[in-house]
């Protein structure tokens, strides 16, 4: 199966791990393409001060997680994967069309998640987000004054 997952993956946390593990599981013994918003794209989506972590760091974390998953499980020995950075919705659409996924995996953190790029042409699985875990929440808690 050819599976695609995309996102900013900024301020990497357990919710990102959850989505990526689901994508790896769906892609078992197939192909996985992880598309990561560039620093420019993340800033445009999330606002000034973002991303917290640059695209090189974010892609390295994702690659490490996938490699560890492959090493720990004999079930994924023939899974191939690629991680790419994209700058715009047009770039995203182009990469989706080139890859022609059997499935797009997306987290449920966005209100417009059912309208993601590619939903009209490829099946989408929405992964429910982990309770009380989001980059926005983490940053809010980090910036709150401590007693």
> Quick one: which of 108, 115, 112 has its CA closest to 134?
108
Residue 40 has pLDDT above 60, yes or no: yes
What are the pLDDT digits (tens) for 88-137? 999 999 999 999 999 999 887 765 555 665 667 788 888 988 877 777 67
Question: Residue 107: its pLDDT value, please?
Answer: 85
Question: Residue 80: its pLDDT value, please?
Answer: 94
How much is the mean pLDDT over the chain?
87
Distance CA 9, CA 135 (A): 9
Q: In what order do the strands lie in the sheet with 31-37?
A: 80-86, 31-37, 2-7, 103-107, 124-127
Question: What number is the average pLDDT over the span 23-50?
Answer: 94
CATH number at residue 36: 3.40.50.620
Contact 34, 84 (CB under 8 A): yes
| Token representation of residue 128 | 């429910």
Distance CA 107, CA 15 (A): 8
Question: Residue 72: its pLDDT value, please?
Answer: 83
| Token representation of residue 108 | 């449920």
Question: Residue 74: its pLDDT value, please?
Answer: 75
Domains held by the chain: number = 1
Contact 95, 86 (CB under 8 A): yes
Question: Residue 112: its pLDDT value, please?
Answer: 59
Model pTM score? 0.87
Q: Name the residue range of residue 78's domain.
A: 2-143
Question: Residue 111: its pLDDT value, please?
Answer: 57
Question: Residue 94: its pLDDT value, please?
Answer: 94
């Amino acid at each position: 199966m050819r599976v695609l997952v995309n996102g900013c993956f900024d301020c990497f946390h357990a919710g990102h791990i959850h989505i990526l593990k689901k994508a790896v599981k769906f892609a078992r013994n197939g192909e996985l393409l992880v598309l990561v918003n560039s620093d420019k794209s993340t800033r445009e989506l999330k606002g000034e001060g973002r991303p917290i972590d640059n695209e090189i760091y974010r892609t390295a974390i994702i690659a490490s997680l996938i490699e560890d998953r492959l090493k720990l499980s004999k079930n994924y020995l023939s899974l191939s994967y690629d991680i790419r950075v994209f700058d715009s919705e047009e770039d995203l659409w182009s990469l989706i069309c080139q890859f022609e996924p059997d499935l797009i995996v997306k987290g449920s953190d966005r209100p417009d998640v059912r309208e993601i790029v590619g939903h009209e042409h490829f099946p989408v699985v929405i992964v429910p987000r982990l309770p009380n875990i989001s980059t926005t929440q983490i940053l809010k808690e980090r910036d709150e004054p401590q007693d």
